[in-house]
Structure 1
C-alpha cells in the first residue's frame, strides 16, 4: 500500500468515525443516541438494535474497564436480553476486545468495513434473464424480503421484519428496500439507509439465495442503490461485509477501512 493509498484510507476512516460513530444519529424510529461514560450508544426498545457504537480514542485501561462496567449496568437495569458493543479494529485501547471478553461479552463473526465514493460506482442495473427488481413498499413486500433474507443467510428474520415495517411506517424517506424477483420468488433482497446530516448511505442485506449466486444479482442491487444515493446527494456508500461480499465490493472500487466485530452481552438469567 503506497503513501497516497494509505492517506486516502485514513481520510475515509476519519470521516466515517466522526460522522457515523462519534456524531451518530438514531438509525430508525423509536431509538435515541446517548453520549455518556466515554461512549456513544444507541438505545431503543428491547427488540431494537441496542449497541455501543463509538468509544473515545483516549480511553486507557482503567477508563475502558469503567466504561464497559457502566454499559453492562445500564442495559442490565433496563432488563434487556442482550446488547452489543460494536468494536472496530482501530479502537483503543488496543486490547479492548480482550477486556470485553473478560467482562462476559461474546464475539460474533467479524465483518469488513468498506467505503466507496458514490460518484465512482456504476449505476447501470444489469440483471440476469428472468430476474426483475421490485421496491419494498408494503407489508407483503416486507414478507418477501424476510423470506429471501432467511433463505440467503439461514437466520431468523423476525427482527428484520419489525425494523423494516417501522421504517416504512415512520421514516420512509430515509429507507429503501429492494427485491430481486424470479417469477413470484424473491431470490435476493437488500436495504439502504440514508443518514441525514452525514455524507453516508449504508448498504445492508444483499443476501442472495444459493442457486442465484454468481449471476450478477448482488452487483445489480448495489448499482440500483448507488443511483438512489447519488440522486439524494450522498457522497459515500458504506458496507459491513461478510467474506462472501468483500471481494465483490473491492472489485467495484470499495476501500477496506478495517474490520468490525460485534461483542454481544447477554445478562445471566
Structure 2
C-alpha cells in the first residue's frame, strides 16, 4: 500500500510516478497477451501479430550488455513469422538516458512522444456545461451495440485523421470484457466526440483513451465533459486514480482539471522487413 498522498505538488508527482511504475508496468501491460516470456528485466508479450516489451526498470544495464539485450529481443520476435512488428515503450524517467539512441541504432523508429498524466479520479469528475443539443452516452452496454460502435469509430477516424475500424472497438471489448466502456457525445444524431474508459484490474487505476472531437465541434468543452463522465463512471467502479498518455491537445485540458504530468512516453517500433 502506498503512503498517504502528499500535498506538495512536486512530492505528489513523485508519489504518482511511483504508483504508475509499480502498478501499470510489467505484467499489467501483458494482461491481454497471447503469450509472455521473460529475458532479464524484460517482459516480452505477443498479441496476435504484434509484440510489446515492458519493464519497470532495466536493472542498471548499460553499454554492450544493453545492446545484447536489445539484439536478443529483436531476434525473439523476428524468429516468429507471425509477428510483423513490436513496440519497445520507453518512459522519460527511465535509465540509461541513451536508451533511445541505442534503440534507433538497432533499427527502431520512434513515434510521437506523449505526456503521462496522473491524478485522482475525483478531480476530473466535475460538472462541465455542454453546448446546447449535445448529449453524452455510453454505447457498449446495449443489446446490439454495433450500430453505435460503427458511428463512434467513424467519428474517431475523423477526429484523429487515420483509419479506425469498428473491428478495433469490438476486438478491445472482447479482449477486456467488462473492463472497457465506450462513451460518445452526440449532437443532432451525429457522434461528435468519443472516448474509452479502461479499468486496470488489480490496481487503483483506470485509463482514459481515444478521446477525440471532430474538428468542427472542438473548443466547446465537449472532450472535457466526456472525460468528466468517464471519471464519474470510474469512481462508481471504485477506481482511485486516472491515467492517460496525452497528446499536446489533451494534455492542457487534463492538467487544468488537476492531473499532473509525471513523465513522458515514446513508442519505439521495430517492423519486419
TM-score, scaled to structure 2 = 0.89
The correspondence of residues 19-98 of structure 1 with structure 2, limited to 5 A, is 19-28=23-32, 31-46=34-49, 50-54=51-55, 55-79=57-81, 80-98=83-101
| Equivalent residue for 2:189, pick from 173, 184, 188 | 184
Change (3 A) 1:38 1:26: closer
What is the deviation of 1:82? 1.2
1:17 matched to 2:1: no
Hey, what's the Cα distance between the residues in 1 that align with 2:28 and 2:185? Answer: 31
Indicate the SS of the match to 1:115.
Answer: strand
| Equivalent residue for 2:268, pick from 260, 263, 266 | 263
| Equivalent residue for 2:214, pick from 209, 229, 251 | 209
| Aligned counterpart, 2:4 | none
When structure 1 is superposed on structure 2, of 241-250 and 70-79 the one drifting more is 70-79
Hey, what's the Cα distance between the residues in 1 that align with 2:187 and 2:40? Answer: 50
Structure 2 residues not aligned, in runs of 5+: 1-6
Change (3 A) 1:33 1:212: farther
Hey, what's the Cα distance between the residues in 2 that align with 1:68 and 1:197? Answer: 30
Hey, what's the Cα distance between the residues in 2 that align with 1:43 and 1:52? Answer: 9
Alignment length (residue pairs): 261
8 A Cα contact 2:184 2:195, kept in partner: yes
8 A Cα contact 1:148 1:187, kept in partner: yes
When structure 1 is superposed on structure 2, of 246-255 and 122-131 the one drifting more is 122-131
The correspondence of residues 114-129 of structure 1 with structure 2, limited to 5 A, is 114-129=117-132
8 A Cα contact 1:88 1:258, kept in partner: yes
Hey, what's the Cα distance between the residues in 1 that align with 2:129 and 2:35? Answer: 38
The correspondence of residues 106-255 of structure 1 with structure 2, limited to 5 A, is 106-137=109-140, 138-158=145-165, 161-169=166-174, 171-255=176-260
TM-score, scaled to structure 1 = 0.90
Task: Give the RMSD, CA atoms, in angstroms.
Answer: 1.9
What is the deviation of 1:123? 3.5
